[in-house]
């Protein structure tokens, strides 16, 4: 008697698994003679859906959280987000897989999600909430495809992730961090503030982006191009950065460099900024490097106009800039009336 094959022994009735040179493929054995197998594709989740349709059976609880994440990562929704967002999602996916990866979607209950939040919050409440929010996106994706009927995340009461829409960095806060930072950090702060761009776009700037008296910024988030005249304060900052770069024999094309003349990276910037913020003391608690963009927009709007701020931010409409800068610094109120009761 021959040895029974274990290949695909955990698959659904009639489903066959074939491992080929270029990947794994799934088939439905119709039970006919001679044998006839219907291709179900190489994606397990889609294969299960087709199996249910062809077999005229209910979709089983075999689609796990891990399978749903894999399928979501192949979707246009995921592929269209920025690299930074993908990295954030990836970190959340890793944690979700550790706790829920092998669990069928339909078996993830709200009480299990609550336990996950409580446990992860012991390490970081923010990360716990963020990871559960990402998990909710995966469940929403699965519901749209009929893999599951209920999103357990929606039944769990959670704190709202703190936003930064109303955050405005006061001058004394920025000054404290600036003075505590290295020359490389000071260059990065000045360039980010004067240009009003996101950290990732500021780090990507190179000398080749400066042409005909303009510096062109390509915003990663929406691929918007913004051209800024290299004059006034911006010219002073760029000239100072270039003068420091010229002291080194080997010079990268990037505008921002560290204290050794090597290209400034995201991790280098974060490290220097966090050290400076800590050295600045209690006044700088909560200040983030990305807050410089909001400060630049708010200050420019106040000093010049809403249109000037919109142009620098690269926003498609003035209403977007209005929403972005509103409430950050507060309105200037009229002076109180004279006291009549004196």
What are the tens digits of pLDDT across the range 241-263?
Answer: 999 999 999 999 999 999 999 99
What is the number of other CB atoms lying within 10 angstroms of the CB of residue 334?
6
More confident: 338 or 23: 23
Region 322-340: mean pLDDT is 58
The whole-model pTM stands at 0.63
Instruction: Map residue 278 onto helix, strand or coil.
Output: helix
- pLDDT score of 5: 43
Span between the terminal Cα atoms of the chain, in Å: 110
Q: Give the pLDDT score at 10.
A: 54
pLDDT at residue 336 in the model: 54
Contact 292, 169 (CB under 8 A): yes
Residue 219 has what pLDDT?
A: 86
Beta bridge partners of residue 37, listed in sequence order: 29
Strands ordered across the beta sheet of 210-211:
210-211, 214-219, 224-229
Least confident of 8-22, 76-90, 306-320: 8-22
Distance CA 203, CA 213 (A): 20
Interacting residues of 58 by C-beta distance below 8 A, sequence separation 6+: 52
Q: How confident is the model at residue 163 (pLDDT cuts 50, 70, 90)?
A: low
> What's the CA gap between 187 and 191, in Å, rounded?
6
pLDDT tens per residue, range 196-220: 999 999 999 999 999 999 999 988 8
Mean pLDDT estimate for the chain: 85
Output the CA–CA distances (angstroms, integers) from residue 21 to 18, 25, 28, 45, 214, in the order listed.
10, 10, 20, 21, 53
| Residue from 136, 151, 145 nearest 49 by CA | 145
Query: Greater confidence, 45 or 148?
Result: 148
- Band the pLDDT of 329: cuts 50, 70, 90: low
23-44: buried (b, 16+ CB within 10 Å) or exposed (e) per residue? eebbbbeeeeeeeeeeebeebb
CB atoms within 10 A of CB 74: 12
Higher pLDDT, residue 4 or 97: 97
Closest CA to 187 of 237, 261, 251, 228: 237
Band of the pLDDT at 117, cuts 50, 70, 90? very high
Q: What is the pLDDT of residue 59?
A: 62
> Is the CB of residue 194 less than 8 Å from the CB of residue 312?
no
pLDDT for 1 equals: 41
pLDDT at 312: 82
């Amino acid at each position: 008697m021959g040895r029974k094959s274990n290949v695909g022994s955990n698959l659904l009735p009639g489903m066959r698994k074939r491992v080929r040179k270029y990947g794994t493929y799934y088939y439905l054995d119709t039970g006919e003679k001679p044998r006839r197998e219907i291709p179900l594709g190489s994606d397990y989740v889609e294969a299960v859906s087709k199996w249910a349709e062809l077999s005229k059976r209910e979709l089983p609880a075999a689609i796990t959280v891990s399978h749903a994440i894999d399928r979501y990562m192949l979707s246009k929704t995921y592929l269209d987000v920025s690299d930074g967002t993908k990295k954030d999602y990836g970190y959340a996916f890793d944690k979700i897989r550790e706790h829920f990866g092998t669990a069928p979607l339909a078996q993830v209950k709200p009480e299990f999600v609550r336990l996950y939040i409580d446990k992860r919050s012991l390490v970081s409440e923010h990360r716990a909430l963020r990871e559960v929010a990402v998990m909710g996106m995966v469940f929403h994706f699965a519901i749209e495809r009929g893999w599951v009927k209920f999103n357990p995340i929606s039944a769990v009461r959670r704190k709202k992730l703190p936003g930064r829409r109303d955050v405005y960095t006061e001058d004394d806060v920025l000054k404290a961090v600036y003075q505590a930072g290295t020359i490389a950090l000071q260059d990065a702060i000045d360039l980010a503030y004067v240009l009003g761009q996101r950290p990732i776009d500021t780090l990507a700037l190179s000398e080749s982006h400066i042409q005909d008296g303009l510096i062109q910024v390509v915003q990663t988030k929406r691929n918007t191009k913004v051209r800024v005249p290299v004059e006034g304060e911006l010219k002073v900052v760029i000239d100072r950065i270039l003068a420091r770069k010229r002291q080194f024999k080997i010079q990268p094309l990037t505008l921002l460099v560290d204290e050794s003349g090597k290209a400034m990276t995201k991790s280098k910037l974060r490290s220097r900024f966090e050290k400076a913020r800590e050295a600045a003391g209690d006044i700088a608690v909560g200040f983030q490097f990305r807050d410089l963009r909001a400060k630049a927009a708010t200050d420019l709007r106040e000093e010049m106009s809403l249109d000037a701020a919109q142009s620098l931010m690269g926003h498609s409409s003035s209403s977007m800039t209005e929403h972005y800068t509103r409430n950050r610094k507060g309105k200037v109120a009229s002076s109180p009336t004279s006291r009549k009761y004196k």
